[in-house]
Every structure is written in structure tokens, then in C-alpha cells.
Amino acid sequence: MTVHPAAMRTRALEEFPVFSAQAAELLAAPNNTIPFPVEDALRLVPYLRLVEANAGTKLLVEGDRSHIGHLLLILEGSVSVDIADGGELVELAVLGAGQILGELALLDGQPRSASCTAVSTVRAAGLSRVGLQRLVAEQPAVAAKFLATLAQRTGERLRGLGDQLKMYSQLVQNQQQTIAKLQER
């Protein structure tokens, strides 16, 4: 099931104190290089929307150029991240609470690099490009800490993908060697 992002149920996150506190806690992870205290993360809440999606809902669509103006911080549920490879879907990861998706398109304005599908019912905190611009203008120190957190998490994800690529490359080399040995017989 594909749902236009604008059709997903959204409401101001600050209307839900439990989810507001949860979003702040998840953003204020202890391993942040630049500390992002819960107090600062709570200042981000007025700029966030609660997004709810049922299992099977496409939250982001690879190659989409028209719905690139938001990111999602997963609060509850899990999301499959997939890319199309020759008509086949390749699952890159399954993300859960505390993980962010959609940040690349939000920041660089380019088409979505992967599709993200709700595996279960998902609740997420959404930040739009307009919300980010307001945050930068109104709370620059909080925006700087948030963007540093976002950069760190993006870097961690890219390093993980690099490790996956190395593993796949090794598998291909092993298969090529096996095929070469079989052909010698």
C-alpha cells in the first residue's frame, strides 16, 4: 500500500506529552559527539509532527522527487529500508525506535535514495523542511545540536553500509573463485 505522505495522519507532537518526552530522550542519545541534552531536545518538539502509519504503508519512495521535505524519527514500530536492484527489492535495514529516516532528501533536496515501508504500526516524529528552517531562525543553538546529531547518525549509517558493501564484495570474490575452480575441472 502506498500512501501519499500528506495523507498520513499527523498532529502537533506537543499535543502528546508522552511522545514528546520519548522523542527528546531518543534524540539525546548518550553517544552523541556533540551533547544534545534532553532539555534542548524538548525545545525541538514544537517543530515536530506526530506521524502515524499502519503496517504496509510506504513512508518514503525511492526516487520520489515531490515528497522530499521531511524526515522521520521513529518512536514506535519498525520500518524496512529497501532499494530496487534490477526489479528486485533489496532490504538494506530494518529500523526501529530512535532511528531517523529521510534525512538525506530533507537536507540536500535530492530524490529519495531508498523506499521505507512500515513493517508494523509506526509512530514517528516528523520534521519538515519548513519546520527545520523555523528552528534554525528561532533556536539556532538547538538547531546546531540537532544537525550535529543528524550528521553523526548519518555518518554511522554510511559506515554501516560501507561495511555491508565490503562483505558483499568479499562474497562476490569468493563466488568468482569457486566458479573459476569449477571451470578448471
- More confident call, 164 vs 49: 49
Read off the CATH number of the domain in which 156 is found.
2.60.120.10
Residues 93 and 81 sit within 8 Å (Cβ to Cβ):
yes
Tell me which residue range forms the domain holding 120: 5-184
C-alpha angle 44/155/119, rounded to 5°?
Answer: 70
22-75 pLDDT, tens per residue? 999 988 877 767 778 899 999 999 999 999 999 999 999 998 888 888 999 999
Closest CA to 89 of 122, 124, 117: 117
How many folded domains does the chain comprise?
1
Residues 127 and 48 sit within 8 Å (Cβ to Cβ):
yes
Residues 94 and 117 sit within 8 Å (Cβ to Cβ):
no
The confidence score (pLDDT) of residue 8 equals: 67
Confidence of residue 123 (pLDDT cuts 50, 70, 90): very high
Residue 1: pLDDT over 70: no
85-118 pLDDT, tens per residue? 888 888 888 999 989 998 888 888 888 989 999 9
Q: Which of 15-24, 74-83, 103-112 has the lowest mean pLDDT?
A: 103-112
- More confident call, 121 vs 168: 121
Which neighbouring-strand residues pair with 20?
none
The confidence score (pLDDT) of residue 157 equals: 78
Confidence of residue 2 (pLDDT cuts 50, 70, 90): low
Closest CA to 24 of 139, 131, 146: 146
